């Protein structure tokens, strides 16, 4: 990309000025973007703000942390992280359409992915086994269909979406910290793989900790990058609903996967559907909705290798196991309830559930509940 920090012998001062703007106390995109429209050179903006600049903003521009900005620049020079500015020609146009697009983006990985069509996949940090499976399957299918899968590197649905996308395509992770950190720490290996095979993005300078207020800001970037947002599983108070709302406000598509009415992690998706989000059951439903924007054929499943287009046929199950699966239905159910509704003993139910879980037909969920897993292709 052209829009990264250029040759340090020529443009260190300009890069430093952008980093100083990030360190201006109390100022953010909403304060600085109107001024940058009047004066696009950050050096001039810092040294001689336009006459329209409010006095409070002038004081903040005079109090930037220059020493920290220099340390930030030194860090950039010692790493493979690039800096993309809001005034640069390669800044993603869809992100620029937001009311408060980030002043700069720190990038580690393949920056060219930013301007390819993206789909956000988000959801609960405390997802069920079935929700994680759905996230991986949808991401795998949609990445193979040509979409870049964008998410937030959080545990749960986000991580599953990144993993699924890397199996067949590319992914972008937008972080709520500086790129010198990985949060949560357990995703360090995943983050390194994304940097190598996809792209890590942050608007936060190095050293930024995972503060609670950072994550709604991160969510607006995820929504802003993407043609649409798919919510896989979310409770009513989930931050994923913020991402969906931001996507809707930006005129982007919102998709939601329905779940059991007994699953609290499905209630956020059900609320979105009641509010007008598109109910999807397969990856093809998403591709069909976005086909006009993507130039893709609706039957994108044909682009998948046969072994990825659908799961291999399972070996025939023992009749008792088939009967137990039929008894379970597709809502979460406890082992005690299965004992009371069948002629099997507690020991037999426990043994059959363990075997079915190992075979991928059943998932064990929090609270001692079990859920039958569908084996349909996505």
pLDDT (tens digit per residue) in 204-257: 999 999 999 999 999 999 999 999 999 999 999 888 999 999 999 999 999 999
Identify whether residues 171 and 304 lie together within a single domain: yes
In a domain, 298, yes or no: yes
User: Which residue, 134, 128, 168, 122, is CA-closest to 148?
Assistant: 168
pLDDT (tens digit per residue) in 65-76: 999 999 999 999
User: Which residue, 285, 259, 262, 284, is CA-closest to 272?
Assistant: 259
Identify whether residues 271 and 192 lie together within a single domain: yes
Look up the domain containing 43 and give its range.
8-80
Q: Which residue in the block uniquely carries the two structure tokens 């970037």?
A: 221
Identify whether residues 129 and 244 lie together within a single domain: yes
At residue 307, does pLDDT exceed 90? no
Structure tokens at 41: 């050179």
In a domain, 104, yes or no: no
CA dist 129 → 94, 152, 183, 357 (Å):
33, 19, 22, 11
Q: What is the mean pLDDT of the chain?
A: 88
β-strands 362-365, 369-372 pairing: antiparallel
**Residues above pLDDT 90, as percent of the chain:** 68
In a domain, 213, yes or no: yes
CATH number of residue 141's parent domain: 3.40.50.450
Identify whether residues 59 and 120 lie together within a single domain: no
Identify whether residues 26 and 49 lie together within a single domain: yes
Identify whether residues 123 and 224 lie together within a single domain: yes
Tell me the sheet residues that pair with 173: 151, 200
Tell me the sheet residues that pair with 369: 334, 365
Identify whether residues 138 and 231 lie together within a single domain: yes
Identify whether residues 342 and 298 lie together within a single domain: no
In a domain, 252, yes or no: yes
CA dist 241 → 103, 174, 265, 275, 359 (Å):
25, 17, 12, 12, 33
Identify whether residues 186 and 53 lie together within a single domain: no
Q: Could you tell me how far CA 305 lies from the centroid of its own chain?
A: 25
Q: Among the three residues 39, 60, 80, which one is the final residue of a domain in this structure?
A: 80
Number of domains the chain is built from:
3
Q: What is the pTM of this model?
A: 0.81
In a domain, 101, yes or no: no
Identify whether residues 72 and 141 lie together within a single domain: no
Quick check: 252 and 228 in contact, CB under 8 A?
A: yes
């Amino acid at each position: 990309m052209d829009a990264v920090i250029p040759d340090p012998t020529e443009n260190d001062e300009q890069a430093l000025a952008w980093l100083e703007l990030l360190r201006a106390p109390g100022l953010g995109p909403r304060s600085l973007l109107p001024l940058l429209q009047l004066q696009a050179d950050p050096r001039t903006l810092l040294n001689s703000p336009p006459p329209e600049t409010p006095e409070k903003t002038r004081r903040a521009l005079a109090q930037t942390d220059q020493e920290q900005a220099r340390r930030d620049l030194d860090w950039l020079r010692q790493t493979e992280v690039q800096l993309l500015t809001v005034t640069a020609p390669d800044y993603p146009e869809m992100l620029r359409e937001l009311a408060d697009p980030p002043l700069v983006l720190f990038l580690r990985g393949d920056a060219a992915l930013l301007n390819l069509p993206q789909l956000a996949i988000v959801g609960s940090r405390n997802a069920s086994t079935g929700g994680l499976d759905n996230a991986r399957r949808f991401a795998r299918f949609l990445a193979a269909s040509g979409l870049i899968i964008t998410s937030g590197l959080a545990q749960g649905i986000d991580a599953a979406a990144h993993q699924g996308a890397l199996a067949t395509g590319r992914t972008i992770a937008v972080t709520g910290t500086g790129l010198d950190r990985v949060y949560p720490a357990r995703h360090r290996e995943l983050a390194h793989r994304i940097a190598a095979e996809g792209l890590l993005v942050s608007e936060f300078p190095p050293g930024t900790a995972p503060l609670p207020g950072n994550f709604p800001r991160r969510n607006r970037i995820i929504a802003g990058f993407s043609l649409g947002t798919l919510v896989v599983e979310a409770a009513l108070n989930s931050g994923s609903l913020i991402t969906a709302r931001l996507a809707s406000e930006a005129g982007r598509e919102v998709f939601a996967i329905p779940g059991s009415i007994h699953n609290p992690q499905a209630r956020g998706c059900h609320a979105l559907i009641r509010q007008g989000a598109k109910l999807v059951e397969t990856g093809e439903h998403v591709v069909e909705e976005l086909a006009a924007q993507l130039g893709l054929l609706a039957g994108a499943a044909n682009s998948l290798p046969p072994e990825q287009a659908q799961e291999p046929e399972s070996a025939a199950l023992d009749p008792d196991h088939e009967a137990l699966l039929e008894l379970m239905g597709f809502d979460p159910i406890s082992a005690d309830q299965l004992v009371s509704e069948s002629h099997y003993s507690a020991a037999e139910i426990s043994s059959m559930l363990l075997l079915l879980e190992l075979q991928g037909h059943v998932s064990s969920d929090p609270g001692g509940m079990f859920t039958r897993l569908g084996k349909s292709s996505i």
